[in-house]
């Protein structure tokens, strides 16, 4: 009995230490396919064919076509809220059929991401860390009789491998050979505070409303001498060229300013963001998002 108890304790310690996260039969899909045709349904059909015990969910299929950066952002936005062991299949793959690697990244948080290594892993690798990366061995982990198909790896390789991994049909080690712990990275402005100036990337637009979301976290904002109602001076850049600048009061809610006026606030991810109350900041001021967009923020002197 004492030996059994000691053995169980060792297993628990290994689990807590994060050495072995079990897959949990949850599979989450992301793509730029849209829902106008049967592509997403085909991927889910392949997954269901692997195991009917899987629980299938969608992250989004409305990534703008070929927009690898937004795929990277949506993963970082979403992955941490799912239980450890969840498997994600992300297919934004303009290089399908080329020599880019097909991989499964295991994060330090115990999540698995099945995707082409084309920049999609840029943000989640940085924020959640890389426990391991394995290249998909297509000799084993590819849908039967799909060898002559070169343009739908989302169905034939990624959905199939993701389903096998999520269902426990294969272990993570059976995905394929281990790779160095590095991924293809998209260059972007990291969030920093330098000389009283916040610098960051315009990660994404809150597409329904046109609000500007940055990667500047509340931890950095709190290092400024800043209170609600104080004015922030904001400069927006594209490829290093100034596009627009404005002053926006730091506010808790949109209603803190009149309709049509700018404000700065912390979004639902607790990142510094900018909006026009009941209007579209991005459209009005021609601001975009992605790796080539950046912002600089300073606290305006009090009058």
Q: What is the DSSP string of 59-91?
A: EES-PPTT-HHHHHHHHHHHGGGSPTT-EEEEE
pLDDT tens-digit series, residues 44-65: 999 999 999 999 999 999 999 9
Average pLDDT value for residue range 275-293: 97
Q: Where are the domains of the chain?
A: 2-179, 192-299
Phi-psi domain of 65 (left: phi exceeds 0; alpha: psi -120 through 50; beta: other): beta
- The torsion angle over the Cα atoms of residues 250, 254, 255 and 258, rounded to 10 degrees, is 80
Average pLDDT value for residue range 117-127: 97
Tell how far CA 191 is from the center of its chain: 16
Q: What is Dmax (Cα atoms) for the chain?
A: 75
Tell me which residue has tokens 């712990």.
Answer: 181
Would you state the structure tokens that stand for residue 253, as one six-digit string?
């809610």
Report pLDDT for 153.
84
Report pLDDT for 2.
54
Q: Predicted confidence band at 21 (pLDDT cuts at 50, 70, 90)?
A: low
Rg (CA), the chain: 22
Would you state the structure tokens that stand for residue 190, as one six-digit string?
């990291």
Contact 250, 265 (CB under 8 A): yes
| DSSP H/E element including 47 | helix 39-50
Side-chain half-sphere of 297: how many Cα atoms within 13 Å?
A: 32
d(CA 219, CA 223): 7
According to CATH, the superfamily of the domain at 192-299 is: Bacterial fluorinating enzyme like (2.40.30.90)
The CATH topology of domain 2-179 is Rossmann fold (3.40.50)
| DSSP H/E element including 164 | helix 160-167
Give the chain's end-to-end CA distance (angstroms, integer): 75
d(CA 1, CA 163): 38
* CA dihedral sign, ordered 152, 155, 161, 166: positive
Average pLDDT value for residue range 86-95: 95
Specify the 3-state DSSP secondary structure of 174.
helix
pLDDT tens-digit series, residues 197-250: 999 999 999 989 999 999 999 999 999 999 999 999 999 999 999 999 999 999
| Phi–psi pair at 111, nearest 5 degrees | -95, 155
């Amino acid at each position: 009995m004492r030996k059994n108890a000691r053995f169980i304790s060792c297993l628990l310690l290994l689990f807590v230490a994060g050495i072995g996260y079990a897959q949990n039969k949850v599979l989450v899909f992301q793509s730029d396919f849209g829902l106008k045709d049967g592509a997403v349904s085909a991927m889910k059909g392949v997954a269901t064919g692997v195991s009917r015990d899987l629980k299938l969910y969608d992250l989004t299929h409305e990534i703008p076509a070929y927009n690898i950066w937004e795929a990277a952002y949506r993963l970082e936005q979403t992955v941490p809220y799912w239980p450890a062991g969840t498997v994600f299949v992300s297919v934004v793959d303009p290089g399908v059929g080329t020599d880019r690697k097909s991989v499964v990244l295991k994060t330090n948080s115990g999540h698995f991401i099945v995707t082409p290594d084309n920049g999609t892993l840029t943000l989640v690798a940085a924020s959640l860390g890389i426990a391991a990366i394995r290249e998909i061995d297509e000799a084993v982990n590819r849908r039967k009789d799909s060898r002559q198909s070169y343009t739908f790896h989302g169905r034939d390789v990624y959905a199939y491998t993701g389903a096998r991994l999520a269902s426990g049909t294969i272990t993570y080690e059976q995905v394929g050979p281990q790779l160095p712990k590095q991924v293809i990275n998209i260059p972007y402005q990291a969030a920093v505070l330098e000389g009283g100036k916040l610098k960051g990337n315009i990660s994404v637009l809150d597409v329904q409303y046109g609000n500007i979301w940055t990667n500047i976290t509340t931890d950095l904002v709190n290092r400024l001498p800043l209170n609600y109602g104080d004015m922030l001076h904001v400069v927006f850049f594209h490829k290093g060229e100034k596009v627009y600048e404005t002053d926006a009061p730091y506010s808790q809610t949109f209603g803190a300013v009149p309709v049509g006026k700018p404000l700065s606030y912390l979004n639902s991810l607790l990142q510094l963001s900018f909006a026009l109350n009941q209007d579209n900041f991005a459209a009005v001021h021609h601001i975009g998002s992605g790796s080539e967009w950046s912002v600089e923020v300073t606290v305006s002197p009090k009058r």
